[in-house]
Structures are given as C-alpha cells and as structure tokens.
Chain A
C-alpha cells in the first residue's frame, strides 16, 4: 500500500488492538514502531529548529530543539561535505532528512542531509547590493571581458578535487581535444575557507600563468543552495576574477543560479561541461578547418600552376615561338647582306693593304744587304764605265789636239826653216848659239842643215858686228806660217 492511499486511521500500526491480549517482545515493538514511523512520515521531512549539543566525530551528532521539544539529529560526513558550513550550536536552521528509529538504542533520529541556515533573506539582500555595486563599477561590462583563447595550451581548473564538476570538465576535455593540458587546482568550493582558497588560487594563477603556460581558467562547482554557492558571491573572489590576467570561464551551480563570480568572469557557462566546451576547441572542427586550409592552399597552387602552364602553352603554340623560322628569316637575310658588305670591305682593305705591303716589300728588299751591295757595285760599275768612256773621249780629244799642234809645230818648226836654206847652230851641249859672244875659239859647233848636220871647230874668231838696219822695209818672217808656206 502506498503512502498516498492511506487515510489517517490506516496510519495506525496494524495489530495494535491485539496488544492487550498478547504482549510484544521489545524487538517486535521496535519493529512495529519503525514501521509506524516509516508509514506515517514522508521520506523527507523538513523541520525548523535550533541546533544544540553538537559533537563532531567523523559525523556530526547534535540535537534539534525548539522551546518545547528536542529530537536527535545526525549529519553524516558525506552529507556534511556538501554543506557550506558545519552545524554550530545555537544556529537556527531548517533541517531536511528522514526519520529513522534505531532499535538497538531505542532512539529516534533525524538523518539530516541538508541544513539551511534560517535568514536566507539576508544573503539575498547582500547579493543584490553587491551586484549593484559591481555593476556600477563596470565589472559586468562586456567591454571589460577578455576574449577566450582559440586554442589554449593549458587550462587550470579551480574546483574541488572530489567534486563531480571536475570529472565533467576532464571528460569533456578528453573528448574534445586531448592536446589541451589540464591543470587541477584543488580548492574548497563551499564553507568558510572556500572564498580564501578560491581568491588565492585565482591570484596565484594570474601571477604565474606565463611560467605555467596557462592560457585560461575554469572556475566551477556543482549545484547547491544559495549558501553553498555563497563563496562565489564574495567580493574578494569577484575582485580576484576581475583582476585576473587570463580569461576565466565560470560555471557555478545549476543553470538557474547566477553567482557574482559568473557575472564578473569573462565568460559564463551553465554547467562545468559547457565551461569546458567553451574553452577547449573541438578537435574535429579544428581538423576540418585545417583540412579546409590545406584544400585552399592546394587548390590555389594548382590553379596557379595550371594558369602558368596555359600561359606557357599559349606562348609555345602562338606568337613568335610557334614559328621561330619567321623570326629567323629576316635576320638571316640581314646577316647575308651584312656578310656580303663585310666581304667586300674586307677585299677592299686587303687589296689596299696588299699594295702597301708590296711597296713596303720592295722598299724593304732594297734595304737588304745583298741588294744594297749589288746596287752599289752596279753604281761603281756604271761610274767606272763613265770614267773609262770619258777618259777615252778626253784622250782622243787630247790626241787630236796633239796631232794638230804637231802639225802646226811641224809647219813652223826649224826643219821647215832649214828647208828654206837656213841653218841652226848648237854647241856641244845642244844649246842654240844665239850670239857671237857665246863662242870662243876651239868650241865645237854642230850645224843643223835641212838634210843633216855638220860638226866643226872654231879655229879663229872674227867678229863682224851687224849694223842695225835703219828703217828697213818689212821683211818676211822666217817663221811666218801665216803666209802658208808649207
């Protein structure tokens, strides 16, 4: 029978009416009580009470009381860890849990799984006031937010090392991209120490992010009550987030909870998994992007290559390269013309030079020693001939002159005179006797006559002086050859 079906009368333990007849054993009674309690109360009850007599051995044992009643309560360690703060004496709370009757000690206890401090209204007021303050400072302004890295090398996760949130983040990271390294910073995420540890973790990571190679932070914890999450509404945590040098993604509690930390953070995520997804790139997507880049690169280069190839082909199949002969022919003709011109010029130069050379050769040959010698000999020979010739001429001329003189001499000579009757007397020495004074007695004289000579000696001397003729008529000269006597 379900709890819903029971009426209040049904809730009485069955068989109670028989108890007067037959006594129960304690165990039976205990069992009956346990059943009655289970049947009478819902699985979870909430009770408003004040805590007292707290004892802390592994688990928390305390009393819940009000003015008129008390009831034992226990907060087991597993549940205590989820509490933002441990139960304290005098604290007013709403305790949630189930009622349990423990037969061995005959004790009824509330097994508490959640303690909510009474006075939540205060927290909400504080939250609103802080929100207004930080909003006014511009800490929620999207412009102050840092962009998330596209591909962080390492991400630090600030969370409880034992929480489910961490596992969600790690699982997501492993699935999306194992290349991103994860660095876990264990911190209390609820309770009194939480705000200090979170603030410290953020500040340290901000200082050392470069040294640690961290590009972003995930700040996360699972769901809980406003009190559980309260550390994330603390001004010190908000300040640390605001001043952090690297971007922070915050995912605190359930989607419906919004903490100050999330509002100040550079990015808010609904869940730890979403926080991981925001920061950790999807390997498949990135791989696809790389593939696209590879394709673009390959396509572009092959387009360019094809284009260049086509250009080359066009050059080869059209234009001058297609018919190189057309390019060559005019040049060849020009070359031929030039060749002819050059040959002609060369010939001209050659012949001119050849003439010069011949002249020079002749001039040179003339200066050869043998030629010079021959020339000189020839010259001498010519001179000799001229000399001989002129000598002969001269001699002949002289001979003719002599002959003429001879003939003249002969014409006027003594012989011719002697022929006419005259004689010539000479002394023994041959000298002509011109005066009587040259002679003396005894001298031998030779008298030349026309037909011979007579030698005589003077035996006496008698000189008869010739009288000088007075004006005698001119007599013909003895040797006047002009008269033409011969």
Chain B
C-alpha cells in the first residue's frame, strides 16, 4: 500500500504555499525581517517540492481490490 505518500506534504500545497510567500513578499507590505523569513521558508519549501519532483524511481504496484476491501 502506498501509505507513505499520505504523510508527505502534497506537491500542490507546497507550490501554493511558495506562491503565497512570493506574492506576500512582492506586495512590499512585509518588513525586511519578515521578507527574509519568508524567503528562507520559501527556499525550504522549494527544496521540499524539488525533492518530490526528483524522486527517481516510480513506484508501480498492483492492487487486488478483493483483498483490500476488508
């Protein structure tokens, strides 16, 4: 079962968070310190998103629905 995937943050969520951060910083309404914090957080999220993208091996599994239906 690909349970592990449920614990990972969703890629879309990460990208959405990054976009929000970028927009907030671009709005010019944040102070410099907040901007820098946002930048650090954005960089961290980008790294996380990239790690998901760069997963090298695709997991392909077969599922028997009769067995899994318990």
Contacts and interface: CB of A to CB of B under 8 A. Distances in A.
Interface of A: 149-151, 153-154, 156, 161, 170, 173-174, 177-186, 200-201, 204-205, 208, 211-213, 281, 283, 286-287, 289-290, 293-294, 296-298, 300-301, 304-305, 308
Contact of A213 (B3, B11, B43): B3
B63 A179 contact: no
Contacts of B35: 300-301, 304
Nearest to B24: A300
B65 A204 contact: yes
B63 A156 contact: yes
Contacts of B5: 153-154, 181, 213
Interface in B25-70: 25-26, 28, 32, 35-36, 39, 42-43, 46, 49-50, 52-63, 65, 68-69
B64 to A, nearest CB: 8
Instruction: Name the residue in A151, A186, A298, A305 with the highest tally of chain B Cβ atoms < 10 Å from its Cβ.
Output: A151
A173 B62 contact: no
A181 B50 contact: no
Contact of A161 (B10, B19, B56, B62): B62
Given A184-B61, A201-B65, A300-B26, A290 B49 contact: yes
Nearest to B57: A178
Given A151-B52, A183-B2, A297-B42, 8 more contacts: A173-B58, A183-B61, A185-B65, A290-B49, A290-B50, A297-B46, A304-B25, A304-B32
B3 A182 contact: no
Nearest to A205: B65
A345 B54 CA distance: 81
Nearest to A292: B22
B8 A297 contact: no
Contacts of B63: 156, 183-185, 212
Contact of A153 (B10, B53, B54): B10
Contacts of A205: 65
Contacts of A151: 10-12, 15, 52
21 contacts: A151-B15, A154-B5, A161-B62, A178-B56, A181-B59, A181-B60, A182-B60, A183-B60, A184-B60, A184-B61, A185-B63, A201-B65, A205-B65, A208-B68, A212-B1, A293-B19, A293-B46, A297-B18, A297-B21, A297-B39, A301-B36
Closest 5 CB pairs of A and B: A151-B11, A178-B58, A179-B55, A153-B5, A181-B59
